Structures are given as structure tokens and as C-alpha cells.
Amino acid sequence: MTATSIGVYDFFKFGNLCCVSIKDRFVSGEMGPDTQIGTDIGHAAELLRRAGIVGIPTETVYGLAGNALDEDAVLSIFKAKNRPFFDPLIVHTYDIAEISRYVTAIPHRLWPLMEVFMPGPLTVLLPRRDLIPDLVTAGMERAAFRIPAHPVALELLRSLDFPLAAPSANPFGYISPTSARHVLAQLGGAIPYILDGGECTVGIESTIVGMEGETLVVYRLGGLAIEQIEAQIGHVKVRDHSSARPSGPGMLESHYAPHKRMIVGDIDQLLKEHTGQKIAVLSFYKKYGDGPHYILSAERDADMAAKRLYAGMRELDATDADLIIAESLPEGGLGRAVNDRLKRAAAR
Ligand code: TXA
Ligand code: MG
């Protein structure tokens, strides 16, 4: 299927969801059933040059990449993920000079952050030039930019003469993938190729920031801790809002979620409240009960917990438990972002 031109008004015309399921597309013969995993950067680049979409590694989570300047490629990303058009995509490049080709300005307060944390798990919202299609930003004036700190992603980006739009490579709303195998499990059949760059070292998505006047606002907690940002530029505002349909920067209340119901709280208490049910436990550092369980970090290390969080949620989601119960981490460092993901995974 080829995309005709999609303008900003079409977001409203199409409504919330891009409704072609992966299964429907098999049936209609639009997509072949074969998805390959490999390490051939040249092959991935070739597919991307032909407006194809490819699973790519980054240090945070795996992305589902396509040419950010090509509406057909971007449309294919939305379809493969079943993602609503109101949820915009991050544009990935290999250096700051590249980013500056696609924006009208870089606010001075963002410079120190960009210089220190790019490449890295930081995404910045910047006023875009018209080169970036409306479809990428859901019609918003700012586009999101990120430089992934992953050697395979950087080599791929350097070999292309266009940036890559890449959301996390999971069906909309589900847990993000932190390995090529995770991508295959969910998007196998819907995409031709997954570039394998090993397990993600950070494990949760990038931290998203932007300016509102002179104030630096954090719109999504993520793999770059607030303390690290504040050490560079002083106090920042965390706009940790969530809604069913965000009008500004995307912060969906229910997200990153397993299929099973999940509850976050005091595990001993929750085990008592749910006796008689099969329970899987996702804990920070110690084991509870005798059912399926996943320990995030026996050493109580929040970075390790972030790295293992999504794999743990997937593993427990695949058990025969009725319910997953989980506990929050102490709020410091990446603990805060892990708690944010747990909260959204548990929201219904
Ligand atoms: O670490 C990451 O950021 C990963 C890797 C693949 O780079 N990407 C990722 O993309 O998490 P995604 O699409 O799953 O989440 C991007 C978030 C969404 O909540 C979206 O609403 C927000 O970024 N976003 C993207 N562009 C935006 C824009 N122009 N204005 C406001 N929010 C934006
Ligand atoms: Mg995502």
C-alpha cells in the first residue's frame, strides 16, 4: 500500500488509531512472513534507502526505524506498530551539526546538555524546519531529536544521507524491546530486517526535554537521570503529567504495559490480599513467595534494574500467572524513571 500525502488535518480525519493489524496485513498479502535478524549494517541501510523500515539497536531500547524525511516510510512505521497518529516520533541523527540542519534554532540553555549528553539517552524538542514532515511530529512545531550512543546505530546513521524516525520497536502500548529477539517476537512478519546490536545497556527510553520560555522542562523521565541534568544546568521542572490523549509532548498514562494485569505496591501486603490467585513477582532485590519471580538487581543497583526491567516484565508476562505484582525502587537516579514505567505499566 502506498501512502498518499498525509497533512496535519488528516490526524483528525483518521481519528485515533491506525487500525491495520499485522494479522490483517498477512491475510491481504501485503507483507511477507519473513523477518531476518542479522548484523549487516549495509543491508539495513539499503532497505532504509528504499523507504523500508528496519529494527535497530540503541543503548536505550530497540527502535523501529525509517527515513524521517519520507512520508511513506514514516507511515509504514505507524502501521507496523499500530500507533495512533497523534503520538509523534523521535528523529535520530549522528551528530549535533546534523540536528541543526533540521531546526530553526537551538535554545542556548540546551547547548550544554546536548554537548555533554549527546550521543546518549537524551532527547531534545527543537523548533523544526519544514523538511520534517507533519506526520513525524503529529503536526507540532517542535520535533524531537536524539543521537543514540550505540556504535551500530551511529554507523548506520553515518552511512545514510537522511535522519531516522524511530519509535520503540513494540506494538503500541506494549513493553519496549531491549534485544533483537524481543523485536522479532512482536514485529516478526511485519518488518523485513532487525539489525542485532546486542542487549541494550540502558534499558529504558531516553529522557525528553525542551524549553518553555527560560525554563527547562522534562517531559519524559528516562535513561538520563534528572540529577545528571541538574548537575549541568541547575534546577529543572519535571512535567510528569499523563493523560489518555496528550495534546502536547506525548505522555500516555497507560503505556509500556504487559498483557497481564499488574499492580505496584508493598509486595508482602499484595501477596496477602491476593491469596488464591497465581501471582508473579517483580521485585527490586529480594525474592518473595514461591511463584514465578524476577529480581531486578540483587545488588540494589537502580541502573541495573532499569536495564533489566522490560526483560523482567516480558518474562513474567509469559508465565501462567493471573497477576504481576511489583514494588517501586528508591526514587534516586534511574529509580525514578523505573518507578514511572512501573506506574504506567500498571495503569488501566
Ligand atoms: O530511547 C528512546 O527515546 C527510544 C529509542 C528508539 O530512541 N525511542 C522511543 O520512541 O522511546 P517512542 O516513540 O516510543 O517514544 C517517543 C516519545 C513519545 O511519547 C512521543 O509522544 C514523544 O516522544 N515525542 C516525540 N516527538 C515529540 C514531539 N515533537 N513533541 C513532543 N513529544 C514528542
Ligand atoms: Mg515507545
Could you read off the pLDDT of 306-346 as tens digits, one per residue?
999 999 999 999 999 999 999 999 999 999 999 999 999 99
Note the pLDDT of residue 33. Answer: 53
Ligand nearest to the CA of 178: 1
Instruction: Report CA(173)–ligand 1 centroid distance (Å).
Output: 13
Report the atom number in ligand 1 closest to the C-alpha of 176: 14
Ligand nearest to the CA of 173: 2
Split at pLDDT 50, 70, 90, the class of 12 is very low
Q: With a cut of 50, say whether residue 19 has pLDDT above it.
A: no
User: Among residues 325, 347, 337, 122, which one has the least CA distance to residue 242?
Assistant: 347
**What's the mean pLDDT when you consider all of the chain?**
89
**Type of residue at 185:** A
* 85 close to 191: Cβ distance less than 8 angstroms: no
Instruction: Report CA(348)–ligand 1 centroid distance (Å).
Output: 21
User: Among residues 269, 340, 347, 281, which one has the least CA distance to residue 313?
Assistant: 281
Is the pTM higher than 0.95? The answer reads: no
pLDDT in tens, 157-210: 999 999 999 999 999 989 999 999 999 999 999 999 999 999 999 999 999 999
Report the atom number in ligand 1 closest to the C-alpha of 166: 6
181 backbone dihedrals φ, ψ, rounded to 5°: -60, -40
Q: Helix (H, G, I), strand (E, B), or coil: what is residue 152?
A: helix
Give the binding-site residues of ligand 1, using a 6 Å CB cut-off: 58, 60-61, 63, 87-90, 123, 125, 137, 140, 142-144, 146, 148, 166-168, 205-206, 208, 249-250
